[in-house]
Amino acid sequence: MGSFNYRILFVDDDAAIRAIAHTLLAAQGYTVVAAEDGFDALAALKRSLPDVIISDLRMPNMNGFELLSVVRKRFPHIPVIAISGEFSGVDVPESVLADAFFEKGQYSPEELFERIIGLLEAGPARPRGDRVPKPAVWIPVNTKADYIAVTCPSCLRTFPIPVPVPIGVNTAECDFCSTEVSFQITDEFRARAS
């Protein structure tokens, strides 16, 4: 990495995870700033801009979905890695506004380091402007959950949808902005959810 230490903003509400991440990333030569939620992360962004942001999605106060929405609008050049222990995604849906996604506990530090290096070398991956953003559909990791989560592509907030949800295209009204959101449930998605 040369003599310049890249800066990483790591956002997670769990103090133990923040401490472990700080230790692992600092050992790789990164300068690490930790934040406990989205509001704390925005305060850190006011002090100095990082080269990469790594953020949990489920946090109190301001969650990761909301934080990533602000980051994409105000700092679109900063690559973002989203991490969630509550949800499992089939892929990185456009409305999550992240350049990479990892499920907590399902990746190695080496995979994370490789992804960070890739983002630093290539810059953030951005969807083309002519594509309509699709809603993110998330499966709760807890298999006894009685809902799936959908992220509204208009307001970028996540709301629950009661299960079962039929295979095919479904619609639901966003709990926050009342936009009608269309989302698709596939056989693959249903298999992951059960």
> In the chain, what percentage of residues exceed pLDDT 90?
42
Residue 128 resides in a domain: no
Q: Which of 80 and 148 is assigned the larger pLDDT?
A: 80
Residue 129 resides in a domain: no
Q: Which residue, chain included where needed, has tokens 């790591």?
A: 10
| Best CA proximity match to 21, nearest among 77, 88, 104, 140 | 104
Give the global pTM. Answer: 0.74
Is there a contact between 151 and 157 (Cβ–Cβ < 8 Å)? yes
pLDDT above 90: residue 34: yes
61 and 91 co-located in one domain: yes
34 and 103 co-located in one domain: yes
Work out the mean pLDDT of the chain and round it to a whole number.
84
What's the domain count of the chain?
A: 2
Cβ-in-10-Å burial (0-12, 13-18, 19+) of 39 comes to middle
Residue 178 resides in a domain: yes
Q: Which of 33 and 189 is assigned the larger pLDDT?
A: 33
67 and 103 co-located in one domain: yes
111 and 140 co-located in one domain: no
In 59-179, the DSSP E strands lie at 80-84, 87-88, 100-103, 136-140, 147-151, 158-162, 168-173
42 and 111 co-located in one domain: yes
How high is the pLDDT of residue 120? Answer: 93
Crossing angle of helices 38-47/64-74, nearest 10°?
A: 30
pLDDT above 70: residue 36: yes
Q: What is the CATH number of the domain that holds 57?
A: 3.40.50.2300
Q: Which residue, chain included where needed, has tokens 């990892």?
A: 102
28 and 105 co-located in one domain: yes
Could you tell me the CA-to-CA distances from 127 to 17, 55, 132, 156 in Å, in that order?
A: 30, 20, 9, 16
In this prediction, residues 75-96 reach a mean pLDDT of 76
112 and 52 co-located in one domain: yes
Residues spanned by the domain of 82: 7-122
In sign, the C-alpha dihedral spanning 125, 100, 42, 148 is positive
Residue 131 resides in a domain: no
Residue 127 resides in a domain: no
pLDDT above 70: residue 4: no
Residue 79 resides in a domain: yes
Residue 85 resides in a domain: yes
In this prediction, residues 92-111 reach a mean pLDDT of 82
How high is the pLDDT of residue 2? Answer: 47
Write out pLDDT tens, residues 129-184.
545 567 778 777 666 678 888 888 777 778 889 988 899 999 999 888 888 999 98
61 and 152 co-located in one domain: no
Residue 37 resides in a domain: yes
pLDDT above 80: residue 194: no
